[in-house]
Chains A and B, each alone.
Chain A
Amino acid sequence: MNESIIKEFTAIVGDENVMTSETDRHTYSYDAAVLDTAMPSLVVRPDNSEALGKTVKLCNDNGLPLTVRGAGTNLSGGTIPHPGGVVVLTNGLNRILEINEEDLYAVVEPGVITATFAAEAAACGLFYPPDPGSQTVSTLGGNVAENAGGLRGLKYGVTKDYVMGVDFWDVNGNLIKTGSRTVKCVSGYNLAGLMVGSEGTLGVFDKLILKLIPPPKSSKSMMAIFSSMKAASETVSAIIASRIIPATLEIMDNFTIRTVENFRHAGLPTEAAALLLIEVDGHPGQVEEEAALVEQICRQHGASELKVASDAAERDVIWQARRDALPALAKLKPTCVLEDATVPRSKIPAMIQALDEISREFQLTIGTFGHAGDGNLHPTILTDRRDAKEWQRVEKGIDEIFKRALELGGTLSGEHGIGLAKAKYLVLETNRGTLDYCRRMKSVLDPKNILNPGKIIG
């Protein structure tokens, strides 16, 4: 990049917030997706709103591709920059501007870390439910841009259900104000909704208005053991069909159970074909009633054993097992491809069957766990990317996972985003017309195609 442009960036964000060295740039050439790196030509870190807006405009004036990056934990390549582009870091914009306890909302800058925000809200006696797996490092801006989910999606919804408004910069450096601090708001287009899940392709977030709710008063966790994935997944459907919405309803297959037990030695039943990890929460009376009903349904569907946590320590054992699933699997092989194809929850048994077939057909090691209650499974392929032959089978296996999920009326991605990794499949889920509509919209809002080019719509 030429010196005079670098000087202009430096004038906007300050000397200490411009990185040009090969080493610094290389460390922003990847994210958590298993994809090739792409080297940016410049990395900048604006630490105030005005500097952020000017940065966006300067990129546009010079036709420089711009990729916003929070913690770089994206699993679909959404934060891998365009080669030669500019990476804009948000970790200099990490202030919680307001937590309003009367009107139950908060205003934050995009670089605030999810778990930090949830803890601040909790300190005010309020609850911010979205809890993606990377919450201790992920940023709220990234969560909104990806419409991140988590373990509580079934009952509490995902990030989009907590976005009341987004202020963002358009490519010309105008601040666009959307949404409001009110529960209801129908003034104009729902642009805040458009921003959610836009993966940095339509605007650069300046501030977010997020909804907070009162926390549940009590909760109860349990672990149910099944002798087949089919029985476990049918139990999931039965619980929902009985009009009970647990806060969390997770499934683990035998391969995952054995791997987790080998990792933690917490006493998981390694002979079990499947585990359901369930938590109901709410008013104490309701919790008791629902827990009893869930227990009954599990038994009716062949649960061989049911462990109800009687104290916080037992509850921890249950959820630690779930938290261990990915790390334990990841340790088995050098490369770990975490997918998130999602199906209507009644189709969970069929999807699990499909995954079993795919793993056999392509000779792949797949551990399956995930948010069974909301239909969002995480088939995790364990492989070594350096093994070219196996990698070909992995790619075919992934194609097949998407195909089967779509055939079941599902979606390519429940919570990881489309990014670079799944852009080529989007037309399969939608159609040519939909893709054209999206591209036309993008071409008007971002005529030079500088905002995270290549993501979502190719």
Chain B
Amino acid sequence: MANLQELAQLFKELDDQLVSCMRCGMCQAVCPVFAQTGREADVTRGKLALLDGLAREMLTDAAGVNEKLNRCLMCGTCQSNCPSGVKIMDIFLKARAIMTGYFGLSKTKQAIFHGMLANPRLFNVLTGMGATFQGLFTKKVDDMLGSSCARFNAPLVGDRHFNTLAATPLHKIVPELDTPAGASGIRVAFFTGCVIDKIFPHVGEAALKVLEKKGVGVFLPSNQGCCGIPALSSGDGATFDKLVALNLQRFTTAEFDYLLTTCATCTSTIKELWPRMFKGDPALSADIKVLADKTMDISQFLVDILEVKEAAATSGRNVTYHDPCHLKNSLGITSQPRTMIKAAGCTFKEMREAGSCCGCGGSFNVAHYDLSKKIGTRKAENIIDSGTDTLATSCPACMLHITDMLSRKKAGMEVKHIIELYADSMKNQG
């Protein structure tokens, strides 16, 4: 382990970014973690002060700072509301990389990132086996939500109500696709993403059906990898770089106009973080930039490019919408998913605090489940209070966590991706 001065030196490199925080404290108004704990170390101002403290060698407990740094959902709400425009997410990702370099990656994360994520084929085989045997260890709790819980005491699962692995992942249902631009004259590439592939393949299928009906050609290459965000937010830049390069190689073998995903997190990672955080082969930078510029959320594509319009409410569904942080805060996309819900013939009703984080935050959910649950409970209460029968959103990770929260409350509501609602409405039209 390097010494503290060396660590301080690394954090000093963030000084130009750290110094732009004027300690006004306005982030206290929007941080979902701080709303639960009221502790300054949990809010952005406190975390930036801690990094600054390490850089200035005022602090000796680097492990303590690291622990506080990880108590963050990386939802980006603070950044989109920061009066001085501090590049908070950049700072946090870099700081996590520095910390991981200093303390090393945990054994579990090493196994997951290096062993599985970086090897899509192995990842697929292992999760495929999991899907076959999971019924032995889990029991269903809510048929409407499709949630289950553990039959036995399982350390990682705890008392979660979770969506089980799909019996057949998307890459088995649709191994690859390469169709020409149809009536629309547009061809897109489809980036599946891990959670859609392995837990919600029907969301991917719905998207592919909609694109087909709209006369849009699709390029879906086989052996896609993870977008890299779990590795990057754990400070494992090497695995992130490896995944970016692997995916780039899969997606640069064909021509297309846009790259679409049905996952808010994948979209924002490819669009925002691939160009900024990739530290691998510099020769790839130009291609990464081209791909990032083409990347879009599916609702943005349908509304802004294909000009899908709102329709009369015919489905009988009452729907409210949760803004995923990675669409709202990272990409500023809020109106298009709402338009899609109305285009699907649903009656839309806004909930309170639609734009506040659901509390999932990827590995935050694993490390700080109690806090994650508290934040999610507030989300679930707002969803239930909306008086609707369906919660729609645009991110499979949010779907997972919200399903957990609603299942615990026995809400009797459905959780859907907006593209499922739209695909259903097209099916009803024949």
Contacts and interface: CB of A to CB of B under 8 A. Distances in A.
Pair from one complex: yes
Interface stretch (B20-28, B179-187, B389-397): B20-28
A298 interface: no
A271 B355 CA distance: 37
B246 interface: no
Contact of B49 (A27, A45, A136, A330): A27
Contacts of B40: 24, 27-28, 72
B23 A27 contact: no
Contacts of A45: 38
B384 interface: no
A26 B84 contact: no
B387 interface: no
B46 A326 contact: no
Contacts of B311: none
A130 B99 CA distance: 44
Contact of B84 (A28, A30, A91, A336): A336
Interface in A402-452: none
B39 A24 contact: yes
A190 to B, nearest CB: 32
Given A23-B59, A23-B61, A73-B24, A330 B38 contact: no
A72 B25 CA distance: 7
Nearest to A39: B58
Contacts of A32: 22-25
Contact of B53 (A26, A136, A331): A26
Given A26-B58, A27-B46, A327-B84, A335 B64 contact: no
A71 interface: yes
A23 B50 contact: yes
Contacts of B65: 23
B64 A137 contact: no
Nearest to B60: A22
A265 interface: no
A331 B84 contact: yes
Contacts of A136: 26, 29
Nearest to B84: A330
A335 B22 contact: yes
Contacts of A384: 19
Interface in A43-61: 45
Contacts of A330: 22, 24, 83-85
B295 to A, nearest CB: 25
A91 B25 CA distance: 14
A336 B40 CA distance: 22
Interface string B37-52: 0111100011001100
B38 to A, nearest CB: 5
A92 interface: yes
Contact of A26 (B16, B39, B49): B49
B26 A137 contact: yes
Interface string A16-44: 00010111101111111010010000000
A45 B67 CA distance: 21
B25 A73 contact: yes
**Chain A interface secondary structure, helix, strand, loop or mixed?**
loop
A24 B28 contact: no
B19 A22 contact: no
A29 B45 CA distance: 12
B160 interface: no
A338 to B, nearest CB: 9
Nearest to B17: A334
A335 B23 CA distance: 10
A335 B19 CA distance: 8
Contacts of A92: 38
Contacts of A336: 22, 84
Nearest to B67: A23
A30 B24 CA distance: 10
Q: Which of A23, A32, A89, A134 has the most CB of B within 10 A?
A: A23
B68 interface: yes
A94 to B, nearest CB: 9
Interface string A71-95: 1110000000000000001011000
Nearest to A92: B38
A73 to B, nearest CB: 5
A28 B23 CA distance: 11
A123 to B, nearest CB: 14
Nearest to A19: B39
A389 interface: no
A26 B29 CA distance: 21
B38 A91 contact: yes
A134 B26 CA distance: 7
A243 interface: no
Nearest to B61: A22
Contacts of B38: 45, 89, 91-92
B318 to A, nearest CB: 26
Given A30-B23, A330-B22, A331-B84, A23 B29 contact: no
A31 B23 contact: yes
A371 B339 CA distance: 42
B61 A21 contact: yes
A71 B25 contact: yes
Given A327-B84, A331-B84, A27 B41 contact: yes
A18 to B, nearest CB: 12
Interface of A: 19, 21-24, 26-32, 34, 37, 45, 71-73, 89, 91-92, 134, 136-137, 326-327, 330-331, 334-336, 384-386
18 contacts: A21-B61, A22-B59, A24-B39, A26-B53, A27-B41, A27-B49, A30-B23, A31-B23, A37-B58, A91-B38, A134-B24, A134-B26, A137-B25, A327-B83, A330-B84, A330-B85, A334-B16, A336-B22
The 5 closest A-B pairs by CB, nearest first: A327-B83, A27-B46, A27-B40, A23-B64, A136-B29
Given A23-B59, A29-B49, A331-B20, 5 more contacts: A24-B41, A26-B58, A45-B38, A330-B85, A334-B19
